[in-house]
Structure 1
Amino acid sequence: MGTQVQGRTYRLVISGYYGFRNSGDEAVLKSILNALSEAQEEAGIQIAPVVLSCDPSWTKEMYGVEAAHRMRPADVLGAIRSSDGLISGGGSLLQDATSAKTIPYYTGIIKLAQMLGKLTFIYSQGIGPVNRGWMNPLIRSVMKKSSYISVRDEASAGLLADIGVDRNRIEVVPDPVMGLPLVAGAQTGGSGARTAEPAGERLPVVGVSLRYWRKDYADLTRAASALAMLARQQPVRLRFLPFHTPDDAMASEFVMERLGAIGGSTAELATPGEDPQQMLLEVSRCDVLFGMRLHALIYAANQQVPMLGLSYDPKIDSFLKRLGLQPIGSTDALDEQAFADAAGELLAPGGAAAWRDKHRDAILKLKAEAQVPAKQIADFLRQYK
């Protein structure tokens, strides 16, 4: 390792799916930046982040950090060449379910940094699925040469081990967003979202985070039926939260149009803006969250909001399992009566408190562990010669 260096500034490039206004991925970036800021103080060093973004100007304005365009080779090369190392950070970066280009891109960025002699760190990534076997050597190669590897679940660690990465070098940690704080002074706990309503007329807020997945929209149609049954059984305020605009807003509108008559309940589409902490605030003001997006569920756990998860990917099941929960349904099956009953139990007097009592310890453990990768990286840099 060498002699400890106190006070030195380290430039770290951060690579991920940033600048696309996806609330979940932007929350990952915000969480990493916050964690690094805290970790650098403990380690007695300075970290200067440089974010690879599809919209560097927006990223710079949003987070107050240096940014370079992720799709301009000269900009990427210049950022990495002038850095001390690279963090490949958060999210489901190394998977080929969404595109065959994703893994080559992100491993290519890591490989470039390694070819330039830079330190590389893997920060709480979700690995897989990897359906194309020829991509395994790409992943294995960059992992073996990285100074630190952390993944966000056991399944990711197992996948890396299966393709030849030493399991003892892989640390399993929570998603970075478990450590994201609310904006200082924010009003939370449910009442903040309903202050405009007269006392005695407040409806419990059910946050809803859905996305397009099935091409026949059968999953969204079933979600609409389940939400409508809940809304007919008891008055609620269905507040749709689009994590990835405009797609999630369109999916929400699709569901809202199919709710039909919902009695004394209401339905609305939230517009929290592009700051991930504003979306976190929106979630904190829900009494229950029905979520399909992984980061909607992570936001809910972060704020100890009772949740019902709809699974479209193993990462949903994996996260819920860490909290001692199971999905209420999937994109292939959702029992509307079971959903309405489960939501009703959480909304009943004492239901939310009982849920928090049962899951609080697991949540607090994940929140504390979410800071581990930043501390490990800062400590490595502090001791690196």
Structure 2
Amino acid sequence: MDKNDANVRIGISGSYGGMNLGDEAILAGIVSQLRASASAEITVFTRNVADTLARHAVDRAVPVRQLTRAEIVPEIRRLDVLVLGGGGILYDRDAEAYLREVFVAHELGVPVMLYAISAGPLVTASSMHAVRAALDRVQAITVRDRLALRLLEDVGVTRPIHLTADPALLLEPEPLPRDALLAEGVDFDRHLVGFSVREPGPAAPDIDPDEYYALLANAADFVVERYDADVVFVAMETTDVTHSHGVVAHMKNAERAEILRRRYSPGQVLDLLGRFDFAIGMRLHFLIFAALRGTPFMALPYASKVSGLLDDLGMDASPLGETGIGQLLARIDRSWDRRGEIRGTIEERIRGLRARAMRTNEHLLGLLQHAPARTTLDQIGVA
């Protein structure tokens, strides 16, 4: 669609710019839903303009973190609606940074919608105040899990909050050539178990790298020795490669481990997850991709957003910091034996989650219908 033909201008702000495959899957889900239902000019506020324009079917990209507040004002003023999200972007260190554009929109009278976000940890007074002040003036709030809904209520948000689901649940697989994986050392003649690790950081403040390197190395060795499987470490973010090496360095059977180093799209990684017999992971979207492909998995929850997914899928798991090596190996063994049962549970629940994910776009279309100026139902071109 030529942007000059668009009837409504939508801005999307979040953690975008090619740093994390999960975030890019979220943006792909949002954009695909919009393109299927509305005639719109889509602007993405991103860390990397070139990456966003290359990956996604959007009309414009703005280097939001490079611009001053004064420079961002005209970009917000031109919008009919500002969308914040999705993803887990409201946490102590960065909540105020992500909310800057929301406060500008409030001052300019531009409607705002929060799109399937999650939240936490939120414990500092300044971040909780910013979240309350920003969200109590937005036109629509949707969250991707019940824990986020409860947390926003607990910090004092009084606007109605609607439970939907992660937009990445709407992603479709993109073929990943077998030759590309063979070149990375993946042996398809063995059982394959995918692993996902992540870095410590503000969204996971309680992770001790040395402890979880040893924990996951023991888990990987157990998988190799008990099931005669190779383990494949999948990086959802660039830094995951470094931490995967940290785990492999602690393994006795390091020769049976491969770390994928090439750059793949979210759709290709989704395709890859369907080739594993089993998956063990920390990253939320690694687990979402496994669920979408019907691959049995065991999660290592480090944050409420992972626990929220497990709750939606009817799966139990102990937080990473409360799991000892013996407990972890026992859980892996039980989960491996129950692969068929786990697959059935996932396939039953995932349909409902995908339906919930589609409802977020319906909330956005409803907001567009009531937005001021040129944004009427006929002009939106609702499909």
TM bracket, shorter-chain basis = 0.7 to 0.9
Structure 1 residues 83-114: Cα deviation after superposition (integer angstroms, max 9, x where no partner): 11100011111111xx2xx1211222101012
Letter in 1 for 2:247: V
Residue 287 of structure 1, CA deviation: 1.6
Residue 137 of structure 1, CA deviation: 2.7
TM-score by length of 2: 0.85
Contact 2:219 2:328 in 1 (8 A): yes
Residue 327 of structure 1, CA deviation: 2.0
Counterpart for residue 26 of structure 2: 28
Q: Which whole-Å CA distance do the structure 1 matches of 2:45 and 2:186 have between them?
A: 47
Q: Work out which of the residue numbers 54, 63, 69 in structure 2 matches 1:69.
A: 63
Residue 293 of structure 1, CA deviation: 0.9
TM alignment of 1:1-385, pairs within 5 A? 9-40=7-38, 46-65=39-58, 66-71=60-65, 72-73=67-68, 75-96=71-92, 99=93, 102-166=94-158, 169-183=160-174, 186=175, 202-213=189-200, 214-215=207-208, 217-245=210-238, 247-261=239-253, 266-327=256-317, 330-336=320-326, 338-344=327-333, 347=336, 351-385=338-372
Change (3 A) 1:164 1:345: closer
Contact 2:314 2:345 in 1 (8 A): no
Contact 1:28 1:176 in 2 (8 A): yes
Residue 281 of structure 1, CA deviation: 1.9
Letter in 1 for 2:22: G
**Residue aligned with 2:15, SS:** coil
Structure 1 residues 115-138: Cα deviation after superposition (integer angstroms, max 9, x where no partner): 111110000111222111233232
Letter in 2 for 1:26: E
Structure 2 residues not aligned, in runs of 5+: 201-206, 373-383
TM-score by length of 1: 0.85
Contact 2:120 2:304 in 1 (8 A): no
**Residue aligned with 1:371, SS:** helix
Q: Which whole-Å CA distance do the structure 1 matches of 2:313 and 2:23 have between them?
A: 21
Q: Which whole-Å CA distance do the structure 2 matches of 1:141 and 1:356 have between them?
A: 42
Contact 2:116 2:360 in 1 (8 A): yes
Contact 1:95 1:128 in 2 (8 A): yes
Change (3 A) 1:161 1:339: closer
Q: Which whole-Å CA distance do the structure 2 matches of 1:198 and 1:292 have between them?
A: 21
Residue 194 of structure 1, CA deviation: 7.5
Give the superposed CA RMSD: 2.8
Q: Which whole-Å CA distance do the structure 1 matches of 2:186 and 2:64 have between them?
A: 49
Contact 1:272 1:282 in 2 (8 A): no
Change (3 A) 1:133 1:198: closer
Residue 56 of structure 1, CA deviation: 0.8
Q: Which whole-Å CA distance do the structure 1 matches of 2:272 and 2:368 have between them?
A: 36
Counterpart for residue 4 of structure 1: none
Change (3 A) 1:195 1:34: same
Residue 328 of structure 1, CA deviation: 5.7
Residue 304 of structure 1, CA deviation: 1.7
Residue 215 of structure 1, CA deviation: 4.0
Letter in 1 for 2:273: V
Contact 1:288 1:343 in 2 (8 A): no
Structure 1 residues not aligned, in runs of 5+: 1-6, 41-45
